[in-house]
Amino acid sequence: MSFARPVLILGALAVVFRVSAADTVFPARLEIKEAEPGLFEVSFNLPVINDARLRAEPVLPDVFREVGEPRITRTQVEYNEFRLMRCAPESLFGQRVAVQGLIGTQIDVVFTLTTLDGRLFTATLKPARAAYVIPEAPSFLELAQEGLFGGAREIVRRPAIVLLVFTLVALSGRRRAMVWAGLSIVIGGITGQILQLSRWMEVPYQLPVIFSSACVLMLVVAALGDRQTSAERLSPIWLTCGLLGLLFGGAGIGMTAGEYLSRSERMLAFTMYTGGIAAGILLLGMVATEAQAIIRAFAPERRRALAYRAFLAGAGTVAVAMAFHQLSSLLFGGGLFPGAPAEIYLAAAGVGMWWGLSGTRVGWRGGLALLSTVAAGLLLGLSGISLPFGSMSVHASLFFLGLALFQPRFDRTLVVIPVSAIILLVQAWYAASFIAENLSYPIAVTTGTALATGAIAWISRLLSSRGGMEAGPLAYKVPGIVLMAAAVVFRTVDYVEWIRSSVVGDIALGFVPVPLLSLALVALALILWPRRRRLQQMLGLRTRQRMIHWILLVAATFTLSIGAVRARNVFFTPEAPRGEVARRTLEQVLGATYTAFNLTDEDELYRRLSQSVTGELVADIYLDSRRKLTSGVRQGAEVTVRGVEVVSLEEGVGGTNPIQGYTYQCTWAVTARVTHLQHVHYRRNFYTGTILLRRSDDRWKIDRLALQSEERVIIPWSAS
């Protein structure tokens, strides 16, 4: 379940509600916008119901002076007034804006006031409260006070940050490291909040709490085990704390945008808020340090150690409780990570464990190279550029990562770093491609995904590097088996979809897919299969076990759908597709027909349509289907067909032979993605009608299509 799912559900309900009650709750608008210094454009919009408009009028402050004559336009559905007014912007503070004539109606008026200095005032004027008083501009002292206290209060009231700071102070013997840790949290939080407010990053609110809880738990377990007092277990500690600050800022935990403030006032408020965050971190550090000094001054030596261990046990207990509390919230909606495919999170955990267990040290140059590789993959995915072999390379890289964990023989720096870079490139591309295709605000979700995967990889590396080598073979083998099994499951799901969308239709036409590439790899694996030599047995010699044959067999499994060719089935007897075969065949033909409209090249679109529709119907289906798919969307919106599903199919099939065709009575649903600006939602068109399938050019094609009904619904992505 992704973070974007609740947003899509609420958006769908809002759209459905508005459509179902458009005659009574259609919102009116009163917009006042400063176009030039002192010159305002006033636009007033009302719905027209039953050819009559509501007798409502805006009541503007006396400081406005009208310029010229009003311009009035009217259509069958709305009434618009447009005026030019002059006013000194500073004289608007404290003034009252109202709309009279709303009493006894169900009309709401959406009011917005925008000024050139960046202020934005918004309100919804209702019949019972049809006035809005523009608030006074805050003073410098008010902004400074609110910013400083707000920033400090935001830090102090976050138990996850408080617990981490107290634990770091208790375990650290280096004040300089603590100063860098505090600065890293502040800088990371500010950066994350700027990115979040700019719609450049989006992180679920549970993730930073769980990340900080994992850091505390790691510190506590290590300290209780070896009784060391250094917080360098999170080394470098500034990086861990900076990542934590980014997560908190990206989750939107911080200062609000303050839209009613001017740009200079927002900058001042943000600066003061930043100072408040730093003051809050400093205050927590001072309190923790003083508490530690008091214990050292008044407690005997024996009781100090007891108090120290009691604090660690309590901190670990609280960390576990906070983590479980955040995880329990997932039962009621939301998601722990941004809505990217699970493959990238598994790969991040695997790469982190591989680095930690192998003892690979990635310097700043290696780290920069890995980050550049991830950034390149994300840019490729967001740009819509495809990598060779698509999802197969993603699942194969995940399988190889599991194999590398399962077999420690790959734990060499010259292997770990380049292979990790390739894996991260492929996984980042796949995740960004999925996000760009399916989720709103793709840049924000992609950045949040990159941050979440970085946190997972970093925690996995820290956990596995602490005693991972001494944990025995299971430290390698169990995670490796999990990753390999996950890769096989993901690949199997792809094969099921391939069989549904392609193989079933080919079998119904008398063709059988032959996986030539897979067969060739199996044959090569059999040739290279290791054989036990009699001389080696007699001498008792043991040689290193070869793996090339197993690698070839795995490659054959992962390439079943890549090198497959269509071969004619000599035992095939042409007959009408029935039952499940008929449903899958219709889905394949209809899917090829509707997805052709995703193409922008008209010549290629017609060529693709001719592969699933007979020549006489191509022009009619092109015009009619394109009109149905794009009707009712905003100008500039992009409609992309994502899939076709046959909902119902009557068993009675008309027709006598494949050349003349077979007639089916069915209902099918076309799911389409609608993108407007950065917002994405999904809708489903249901069609009922009769379809005549005819065999032509060794394909099933639609020869006649008679629609009987059409229905459209807005759906969340999870329902598609």
pLDDT for residue 472: 54
pLDDT surpasses 50 at 10: no
Neighbour tally for 135: CB within 10 Å = 11
pLDDT digits (tens, 9 = 90+) for 78-119: 888 999 999 998 899 999 999 888 887 778 888 999 999 888
Which residues are registered as beta bridge partners of 82? Answer: 43, 71
| Residue 311 and residue 177 share a domain | yes
649 found inside a domain: yes
Residue with tokens 């000094």: 293
What pLDDT, on a 0 to 100 scale, did the predictor assign at position 489?
92
Q: Among residues of the chain, what percentage have pLDDT more than 90? A: 9
Please check whether residue 388 is in contact with residue 337, taking contact to mean a CB–CB distance below 8 angstroms: no
Same domain (yes/no): 97, 149: no
Question: What residue numbers bound the domain in which 33 lies?
Answer: 24-133
Establish if 462 belongs to a structural domain.
no
CA dist 548 and 530 (Å) reads 9
How do residues 688-710 score in pLDDT, each as one tens digit?
A: 888 888 877 777 788 888 888 87
Instruction: Based on the fold, state whether residues 165 and 75 are members of the same structural domain.
Output: no
Q: Does residue 153 lie within any of the structural domains?
A: yes
Query: Is the domain of 173 the same as that of 57?
Result: no
Q: Do 75 and 214 share a domain, yes or no?
A: no
Residue 204 and residue 332 share a domain: yes
Are 126 and 154 part of one and the same domain?
no
Tens digit of each residue's pLDDT (9 = 90 or more) over 621-633:
666 665 556 555 5
Per-residue pLDDT of 387-404, as tens digits, reads 888 888 999 999 989 988
Write down the pTM of the prediction.
Answer: 0.72
CA distance 512 to 510: 7
User: How many structural domains is the chain composed of?
Assistant: 3
Q: Is residue 431 part of a domain?
A: no
Q: Would you state the pLDDT for residue 483?
A: 92
Q: Residue 64's domain is classified under what CATH number?
A: 2.60.40
**Predicted pLDDT of residue 40:** 93
Three-class DSSP category at 323: helix
Q: Which amino acid is at 641?
A: V
pLDDT by residue (tens digit) across 289-324?
A: 888 888 877 777 777 778 888 888 888 899 989 888
Do 120 and 198 share a domain, yes or no?
no
User: In the listed set 336, 353, 384, which residue is the last one of a domain according to the structure?
Assistant: 336
- Mean pLDDT across the chain: 79
Do 253 and 301 fall within a single domain? yes
Q: What is the DSSP string of 374-385?
A: HHHHHHHHHTTP
| Domain-located, residue 566 | no
pLDDT digits (tens, 9 = 90+) for 665-678: 888 888 887 776 66
Q: Is 408 within the bounds of a domain?
A: no
Write down the pLDDT at residue 584.
81
Q: Do residues 304 and 195 share a domain?
A: yes
* 668 shares its domain with 684: yes
What is the residue-wise DSSP string for 15-80?
A: HHHHHHTHHHHPPEEEEEEEEETTEEEEEEEEEEETTEE---EEE--TT-EEEEEEEEEE-SSEEE
CATH number, residue 661: 3.10.450
